[in-house]
Amino acid sequence: MESTTNTMVNGSDLDNNNAAGGGGVVDVYGEDFATEDQLITPWTVSVASGYTLLRDPRHNKGLAFTENERDAHYLRGLLPPALMNQELQEKRLMHNLRQYKVPLQRYVAMMDLQERNERLFYKLLIDNVEELLPVVYTPTVGEACQKYGSIFRRPQGLYISLKEKGKILEVLKNWPERNIQVIVVTDGERILGLGDLGCQGMGIPVGKLSLYTALGGLRPSACLPITIDVGTNNEQLLNDEFYIGLRQKRATGQEYAELLQEFMTAVKQNYGEKVLIQFEDFANHNAFELLSKYSSSHLVFNDDIQGTASVVLAGILSALKLVGGTLADQTFLFLGAGEAGTGIAELIALEMSKQTKAPIEEALYLRRVKTDVLNLLQGLIVSSRKESLQHFKKPWAHEHAPIKSLLDAVKAIKPTMLMGTSGVGKTFTKEVVEAMASFNEKPVIFALSNPTSQSECTAEEAYTWSKGQAIFASGSPFDPVEYNGKVFVPGQGNNAYIFPGLGLGLIISGAIRVRDEMLLAASEALAAQVTQEHFDKGLIYPPFTNIRKISAHIAAKVAAKAYDLGLASRLPRPKDLVSYAESCMYSPMYRSYR
Active site residues: 137, 208
Which residues have a Cβ under 8 Å from the Cβ of 365 and sit 6 or more positions away?
none
Residue among 10, 35, 221, 450 that touches ligand NAD (CB under 6 A): 450
Q: How far apart are CA 349 and CA 362, in angstroms?
A: 10
Q: Does 454 bind ligand NAD (CB under 6 A)?
A: yes
Residues β-bridged to residue 398: 382
3-state helix, strand, coil in the chain (%, to 5): 50, 10, 35
**Nearest CB to ligand NAD, comparing residues 332 and 593:** 332
The distance of closest approach from Cβ of residue 337 to ligand NAD in the complex, given in angstroms and rounded to an integer, is 5
- Which residue stretch of 112-120, 199-207, 420-428, 460-468 sits at the interface with ligand NAD (rule: CB under 6 A)? 420-428
311 binds ligand NAD (CB under 6 A): yes
- Choice from 147, 190, 367, 557 touching ligand NAD (CB under 6 A): 190
Cβ atoms of 331 and 413 within 8 Å: the answer is yes
Of 125, 166, 131, nearest to 255 by C-alpha is: 166
Regarding 458 and contact with ligand NAD (CB under 6 A), the answer is no
448 lines the binding site for ligand NAD (CB under 6 A): yes
Question: Shortest distance, CB of residue 283 to ligand NAD, whole angstroms?
Answer: 7
Residue 324: closest CA among 428, 442, 430: 442
Q: Do 447 and 413 meet the contact criterion of CB atoms below 8 Å apart? A: no
* Least distance between ligand NAD and beta carbon 422 (Å): 4
- Return d(Cα 10, Cα 17) in angstroms, integer: 10
Provide long-range contacts, Cβ within 8 A and 24+ apart, for 376-383: 376/335, 376/405, 376/406, 376/422, 376/427, 377/422, 379/403, 380/409, 381/337
**Residue of the chain from 322, 412, 424, 528 that contacts ligand NAD (CB under 6 A):** 424
Q: What single-letter amino acid sits at 452?
A: T
Q: Which helix (H) or strand (E) holds 88?
A: helix 86-99
The window from 47-55, 210-218, 489-497, 550-558 that contacts ligand NAD (CB under 6 A) reads 489-497
| CB closer to ligand NAD, 493 vs 588 | 493
Cβ at position 170, least distance to ligand NAD in Å: 32
Contact call for residue 308 and ligand NAD (CB under 6 A): yes
- Residue 286's beta-bridge partner residues? none
Q: Closer CB to ligand NAD, residue 165 or residue 285?
A: 285
Residues contacting residue 322 through CB under 8 Å, at least 6 positions apart: 442, 471, 535, 538, 540
Q: Binding to ligand NAD by residue 491, rule CB under 6 A?
A: no
Instruction: State how far the Cα of 180 lies from the Cα of 511, in Å rounded to an integer.
Output: 15
- The sheet carrying 158-161 orders its strands as 158-161, 223-229, 182-186, 276-279, 299-302
Residue pair 480/452 in contact (Cβ under 8 Å)? The answer is: no
Among 231, 315, 423, 501, binds ligand NAD (CB under 6 A): 423
**Dihedral, CA atoms, 127, 128, 130, 132, nearest 10 degrees?**
-130
Closer by beta carbon to ligand NAD, 205 or else 341: 341
Question: Which positions from 268 to 307 touch ligand NAD by CB under 6 A, shown as an x/- string?
Answer: ----------------x-------------------x---
Integer Cα distance of 247 and 233 in angstroms = 9
The piece of 12-20, 78-86, 260-268, 488-496 that touches ligand NAD (CB under 6 A) is 488-496
Q: Which residue is nearest to ligand NAD (CB)?
A: 338
Binding of ligand NAD at residue 449 (CB under 6 A)? yes
- The residue within the footprint of ligand NAD, chosen from 45, 322, 358, 376 (CB under 6 A), is 376
Q: How far is the CB of 493 from ligand NAD (least distance, A)?
A: 5
Residue 231 interacting with ligand NAD (CB under 6 A): no
Task: Reduce the secondary structure of 180-243 to three states and give it as a string.
Answer: CCEEEEECCCCCCCCCCCHHHHHHHHHHHHHHHHHHHCCCHHHEEEEEEECCCCCHHHHCCCCC
377 binds ligand NAD (CB under 6 A): yes
Minimum distance, C-beta of residue 342 to ligand NAD, in the bound complex (Å): 8
Q: Determine, following the binding rule CB under 6 A, whether residue 104 of this chain makes contact with ligand NAD.
A: no
Name which position in 157, 203, 341, 490 contacts ligand NAD (CB under 6 A).
Answer: 341
Is residue 372 at the binding interface for ligand NAD, with CB under 6 A as the rule?
no
Q: Which residues pair with 277 in a beta bridge?
A: 183, 300
Residue placing its CB nearer to ligand NAD in the complex, 156 or 494: 494
Sole binder of ligand NAD in the list 30, 157, 188, 193 (CB under 6 A): 193
Does residue number 415 form part of the binding site for ligand NAD (CB under 6 A)? no
Measured from the CB atom, is 220 or 477 closer to ligand NAD? 477
Question: In terms of CB distance, is 27 or 456 closer to ligand NAD?
Answer: 456
Interface segment toward ligand NAD; rule CB under 6 A; list 95-103, 262-270, 331-339, 428-436: 331-339
Q: Which helix (DSSP H) or strand (DSSP E) does residue 560 occupy?
A: helix 547-564
DSSP helix/strand/coil, 6? strand
Should residue 336 be labelled a site residue for ligand NAD when binding is judged by CB under 6 A? yes
Applying CB under 6 A, does 338 fall inside the site for ligand NAD? yes
**Beta partners for residue 108, in sequence order:** none
Residue 322 buriedness (CB in 10 A; 0-12 / 13-18 / 19+): middle
- Under the binding rule (CB under 6 A), the answer on residue 339 touching ligand NAD is yes
Q: Return the number of the residue (86 or 494) whose C-beta is nearest ligand NAD.
A: 494
Read off φ and ψ for residue 436, nearest 5 degrees.
-60, -40
Beta carbons within 10 angstroms of residue 348's beta carbon: 26
The residue (of 406 and 560) whose beta carbon lies closer to ligand NAD is 406
Looking at 77-85, 101-109, 443-451, 512-520, which segment touches ligand NAD (CB under 6 A)?
Answer: 443-451
Q: Which DSSP symbol is given to 414? A: -
Site membership for ligand NAD, residue 382 (CB under 6 A): no
Residue 59 to residue 36: CA distance in whole angstroms: 18
Is residue 477 a contact residue for ligand NAD (CB under 6 A)? no
205 or 475, CB closer to ligand NAD? 475
Residue 26 touches ligand NAD, criterion: CB under 6 A: no
Q: Can you give the binding site for ligand NAD, defined by CB under 6 A?
A: 190, 192-193, 284, 304, 308, 311, 335-341, 375-377, 421-424, 448-450, 454, 475, 493-495
